[in-house]
Amino acid sequence: MESADKAKTVIAEDVEIMGSIKSATPIHIDGKLNGDMTCTNGVVVGQTATIKGNLAVDSVVVMGQVVGNITAKDKIDLKSTARLTGDIRSRRLAVEDGVTFVGKSEVNPSGAAQRPPVSGEARSAGHEIGPEQDTVLSSDDDKTKGGRFFGKK
């Protein structure tokens, strides 16, 4: 879904929406949205679009600017003109050369929840990995103990 022809709802570039959008039909947005978007179908964020909010969609093509998190059941397609600040999660991800992306990504084709392994060594050293923590490799312990483990930042 990359063109406005397939979208049942088109939000023109001179339109600014303050609030959330919920839709079951495809949406093409070229305007501004200050709020969250939930769509059980495809979404196209056009080159002139600016979204400040989270997107929960089936699939999305981003050509404009998004400041917020994107969760897609199927695919996130970031075109070369896309500017994204936020975390993304989807089954599939396509990124063209030239994209600006600042955030974390989780791409999982199987859709199964995955968590990083926690070794016994990390637990005994007092380091636990929670679901919302970043993991980093501790190089000091790698040299002294001859092993590797993940710990808190």
Pairing label, strands 100-102, 92-95:
unpaired
Average pLDDT over residues 82-100: 97
Among 29, 36, 31, residue whose Cα is nearest residue 62: 29
Joined together, the tokens standing for residue 75 give 């695919």
Domain ranges of the chain: 9-107, 120-151
Q: What rounded mean pLDDT belongs to the chain? A: 80
pLDDT value at residue 128: 43
pLDDT value at residue 111: 66
Q: Residue 113 — pLDDT band, cuts 50, 70, 90?
A: low
The pLDDT tens digits for 42-70 are: 999 999 999 999 999 999 999 999 999 99
**Nearest-5° Cα angle at 66, 2 to 73:** 60
94 with 76: CB under 8 angstroms? yes
